[in-house]
Structure 1
Amino acid sequence: MRATVTKKSWAVRASKPAAVLVAAALLSSCAHNEEPSTGTSASKSLTQKAESAALTAAGGKKIGGKLSLIGVNAGAEGAVIESTLKPFEDATGIDIDYTGSSDANTLIQTRVDAGNAPDVVNLPNAGSLATYAKAGKLVPLTFMDQSKLKSDFAPTLLSSATVDGKLYGIWNEVDNFMIWYNAKTYKGPKAPADWAALQKWAKSASSGDTAPWCMGLASGAASGVSGAQFISNLFLYESGPEKLKQFAEGKLPFTSPEVASAFKLFGKIATSSKMVKGGATAALNTPTVEAGNGMFSSPQKCSMLGWGNYAGGLITAANAKVKPVTDLDFFGWPAVNKDYAKSQLVSGHVMYAFNDTPQVRAFMKYYASSEAQSLLADSGHWVVANQDVTTATYPNALIKKSAAQYKAADSVSLSPVSQLPAPVVMALYKGIVAYVQNPGSLNSILAGIEKTRTGATS
């Protein structure tokens, strides 16, 4: 295997035009909450099973050849990806050239334009998959067992990677969302009946020195990204999976009452000096990746954080004395409408292919398997998309709990941020910042985002 990995700082990456993918890549690559697996006997057993699955995917033959793969995971996360590729290489004789870069989207587009597309890519955005598929650039996965895929993956994940009735992509890593809290100081409900119950406690606690909510929206050119995920969760839990799907597909406009309502619920927190210490100004200027640190500062600034499963890794990395579960824990995002309490919002990485070769076919079959995705799970870095992977596979408490939450959902919805065209997502981010600055301008802000959407999809 030849691996090329590049990783730039958050500030540099967020200044890129592809800040949409960069933001998602950074966040989803930070989901390791505790000590990753270090080659236990369980890991060796999983490796043997992965080798067997790889050989089966290749038709029982060591077919050899080469395969190029480009993804966003670099550094330690890139090394985890490489560890899942090695059993495939050993079993099939296929040499994988893996490139992990925060500029993956640019690298891929450049190669596609030059007529030298990589064999396979792994990106945190289904919108790019749809664009390439509609242009006739991708390989439909008709050679894979469709009934097995339907059994192993959430319907929404499959539909998000389907264009004109053909499946093109396989989700591997997924990030779900929850409410994080300081387990030693938090006095609110840990299993609130609904959003109103949680906000009732937040209001009662808003007169103290510690604000109920942590909030950080500053992420360079991607400022507003955490707000977009917060709003998406509120939308899902108030208006339901079907409405969210319509919104992500552009069938429900930004000017709809459902979108406005989710923004307003978010605004009651982000623009309030009682809900967020320092109010809107602090929310806008606090770096997104540092938002949860206020739960462990001295004096403590805030009590809880609504964000993805990657928050655990960010918080424990920045606060050396913070221990998972003992000090930092989470509960599921409470529903605004109890009818949608068993729903789940996710983002993540989807893998798709530009070239149709025996090596590519074998690899796509392999990476969709529970054996390959069990290796990802065993690393302790991510929750995986294949629902046949058991929660016992995860080696640490917070990721295990996150995986259990994902598997327990009656329905899984993909975040609109992972589906909308990049110009629309950037307009959304900017609109969120503008709304927090001036809540009275919500209608005109949403109309402006909708204008961008109609232009991007026309």
Structure 2
Amino acid sequence: RIFSVAVLISMLAACGPGTGSSSSKTLHVIGTWGGSEQASFMAMIKPWTDRTGNKVSYEGTRDINALQTTRVKAGNPPDLAGLPGPGQMAQFAKAGSLVSLDSAVDMNAMNSQYGANWVKLGTSNGHLVGIFIKAAIKGLIYYDPKTVSAAGVDFTTPPKTWDDMVTAFTTIRSKTGKTPWCIGVASGAASGWPGTDWVKDFFLRQAGPTKYEAWGASQEPWNAPEMKAAWQSFGSVVNNTNLTYGGKNYVLSTNFATAFDPMFASPPGCYLHHQASFITDFFVHDFPNLKPGTDFTFFGFPDINPAYTGPQVVAGDLFGMFKDSAEARDLIKYLTTADAQKIWVKRGGAISPNKLVTVDNYPDDQVKKAAQLLLAANPPEFDAGDLQTAALQQAFFDGIVAYIQNPGQLDTILNGLEQKRASGQ
């Protein structure tokens, strides 16, 4: 699922005459997706290749920032590429590597069909340079209703506060003698990112949206007391061998895409899993017989500080154009449409940022619930890690790994992150 080397795929246009040019063009596209996510992206663009007669060569890598930076520096960028986040997007735009999309897409349609924040996050120096083709809601807590009930916990009414959550998972521990949580932070060069999502959830709900937004804008010190408290809250779970399956060895060595597997074992090895809405695609890949709602469901991360109720971390997959051509413009315009995004939505594992993709397009009630939670977020806060520079985001990932390895070095980790922020890295 996760690539240590790039995987190259070609998808040919359907046989027979197309409506596009008689001389087809192959577009090179780089993205982060593998496995079922890659298959969904290829399904998403198939109507476009069928219609135009063009081809798409897709290359998948989890270390997309390094690959993309190398290609750009070598003068060999792809036509289109997924962007690691708005922070890195802004860096590419500032360097002149990205093509403005102002005339490539219908801006009137963009502004009416997308929320203002989605357009703003894809804008740099007054020009649209990135478009979101799918979104996810983060900070969801997944569980199997049957095993959790057998462990003495009733989530019919989800925990309203983190204290309620602590009561629930300590009950699971005391009733079963097993670890409540399954966590895995391995992800190749991006190892550590699942742990950053825990820190974001704690920081947003403890310190509030204003400080969270300042953090995303690199205006909040990494060694501030509020930041340290968020890391320590994460540590109270991940560094407690009574709470986390397999201890730190499992957490550090297990890929995020399979970290939940013990939750669906018989008997279960854990009962709870914290992840974004896209993870259900991985659930059914590993366990094809799972039934959404019956075998897994979720609730949103509970509130912590009563002064800040209802915020939610959201994220999305950005695409940008590195080589200007009529074919690349046509493909990126297609990717913004509801017709294109419905394809991935109907296959599962994605939420569309396009307002014209209504909830009836989602394949089951669980994904509909996630989409509705995203729409109801008050406020929706974009993933602060994805707003950072590439160097700072990577240091955040690495810091999570170092913290799990040795919680006693937290001050050193945070001071190092603050030095990077203060120096503009």
Q: Structure 1: 5+ residue runs without aligned partners?
A: 1-8, 17-21, 26-54, 56-60
Per-residue deviation, 1:181 = 0.6
Alignment correspondent of 2:161: 194
Per-residue deviation, 1:107 = 5.2
- State how far apart, in whole Å, the 2-side matches of 1:96 and 1:79 are: 15
Q: How does 1:399-418 map onto structure 2 within 5 Å? A: 399-418=367-386
| 3-state SS of 1:157 partner | helix
Say if 2:49 and 2:56, in contact at 8 Å, map to a contact too. no
Per-residue deviation, 1:79 = 3.8
Per-residue deviation, 1:172 = 0.8
Alignment correspondent of 1:377: 345
Q: Does 1:83 align with 2:43?
A: yes
Q: Which of residues 96, 104, 110 is equivalent to 1:149?
A: 110
Say if 2:281 and 2:348, in contact at 8 Å, map to a contact too. no
Q: How does 1:113-128 map onto structure 2 within 5 Å? A: 113-128=73-88
- State how far apart, in whole Å, the 2-side matches of 1:69 and 1:87 are: 17
1:194-238, Cα deviation, whole Å (9 max, x unpaired): 222212322344323122322223445443221111111222223
| 3-state SS of 2:147 partner | coil
1:400-452, Cα deviation, whole Å (9 max, x unpaired): 33222222223322213323233322322222233233333322220012223
Say if 2:27 and 2:55, in contact at 8 Å, map to a contact too. yes
Alignment correspondent of 1:100: 59
Q: Which of residues 180, 184, 197 is equivalent to 2:142?
A: 180
- State how far apart, in whole Å, the 2-side matches of 1:403 and 1:158 are: 19
Q: Does 1:345 align with 2:313?
A: yes
Alignment correspondent of 1:36: none
**Using a 3 Å threshold, how does the CA distance of structure 1 residues 122 and 222 change in structure 2: closer, same or farther?**
closer
Alignment correspondent of 1:312: 280
1:372-397, Cα deviation, whole Å (9 max, x unpaired): 21222122242222233111112234
- State how far apart, in whole Å, the 2-side matches of 1:420 and 1:119 are: 24
- Aligned residue type for 1:294: P
Say if 2:30 and 2:78, in contact at 8 Å, map to a contact too. no
- State how far apart, in whole Å, the 1-side matches of 2:38 and 2:287 are: 24
Say if 2:262 and 2:268, in contact at 8 Å, map to a contact too. yes
1:310-344, Cα deviation, whole Å (9 max, x unpaired): 33233333345533221111112212234544332
**Using a 3 Å threshold, how does the CA distance of structure 1 residues 151 and 256 change in structure 2: closer, same or farther?**
farther
**Equivalences, count:** 404
Q: Structure 2: 5+ residue runs without aligned partners?
A: 8-18
Q: How does 1:26-425 map onto structure 2 within 5 Å? A: 66=25, 68-72=27-31, 73-74=33-34, 76-91=36-51, 93=52, 95-102=54-61, 105=65, 108-143=68-103, 144-177=105-138, 178-186=140-148, 187-189=153-155, 190-208=157-175, 209-277=177-245, 279-425=247-393
- State how far apart, in whole Å, the 1-side matches of 2:180 and 2:66 are: 40
Say if 1:161 and 1:167, in contact at 8 Å, map to a contact too. yes
TM-score (norm 1): 0.78
TM-score (norm 2): 0.83
Say if 2:145 and 2:294, in contact at 8 Å, map to a contact too. yes
- State how far apart, in whole Å, the 2-side matches of 1:448 and 1:210 are: 36
**Using a 3 Å threshold, how does the CA distance of structure 1 residues 111 and 434 change in structure 2: closer, same or farther?**
closer
1:358-384, Cα deviation, whole Å (9 max, x unpaired): 434333332212222122212224222
**Using a 3 Å threshold, how does the CA distance of structure 1 residues 188 and 431 change in structure 2: closer, same or farther?**
farther
What percent identity do the matched residue pairs reach?
31
Deviates more, 1:418-427 or 1:258-267: 418-427
- Aligned residue type for 2:354: N
- Aligned residue type for 1:196: D
